[in-house]
Structure 1
Amino acid sequence: MFLKAPFGLPADFLRTFGYPGQRRYIGLYWSPMGDEACWDDGQSSACGLADNHYYLAFIRRKEVLAWRDENGLHLGNSEEEAQHWLVVDAETCEVYAAHWREARQAVIRQEIPS
């Protein structure tokens, strides 16, 4: 099940974050291996090549924290793998969350399920 966030990304988020690709849907999460922000676009993925501080600043914003807490979203931390990923739409700047398995399939297919 995909949950749409009541907020969007800043227009330059993906570029500033360090995502180098051109895919529409990109999964974002935190990995304890290396303690780093990660991205996955269904064709490529990377951990540690993105701006960790920029990612953390975003997911710690007041409205993002409230949404995460309200919906029991776990995006990973220094000691635990992510249970959920953020899936961002590079065209609309919309943000979704889903269990990592569903999110991974969506970025591979480049489609958010209805």
Structure 2
Amino acid sequence: MFCTRFRVSQNRFGKDLKSGWSRPVPCGGPLKERCAAMEHRMQLGANLRRLRKERCWSQEMLAHFAGLHPTEVSRLERGLREPRLRTIVQVASALNVPIQALLDPEPSPEPEPVT
């Protein structure tokens, strides 16, 4: 697993500036917790997108049923947001699934029996 991080530089007043993305670095050490959080957000996003598409809903429809803004649903699916518990509950309620269904890894498909 790889993570990206910001290169930070300072302007002449000592204020930090984000100067762009650095190249991906292997997870480990101080970045390990950051990588784990990113994996959880990406898992939530993948499950959210899968459950939404199973119902043939658009992001706008899910946002309407969950009482969220459509951009919030988009950010959740792309793993850009660390959602609040309230948001997770709203989305799970709108999809009529337990909260655990949003957080667990996707179930692996059953292998087809060979005849």
TM-score norm. by structure 2 comes to 0.27
Structure with larger Rg: 2
Structure (1/2) with the larger strand percentage? 1
What TM-score comes out, normalization by structure 1 length? Answer: 0.27
From the two aligned structures, give the one with the greater helix fraction: 2
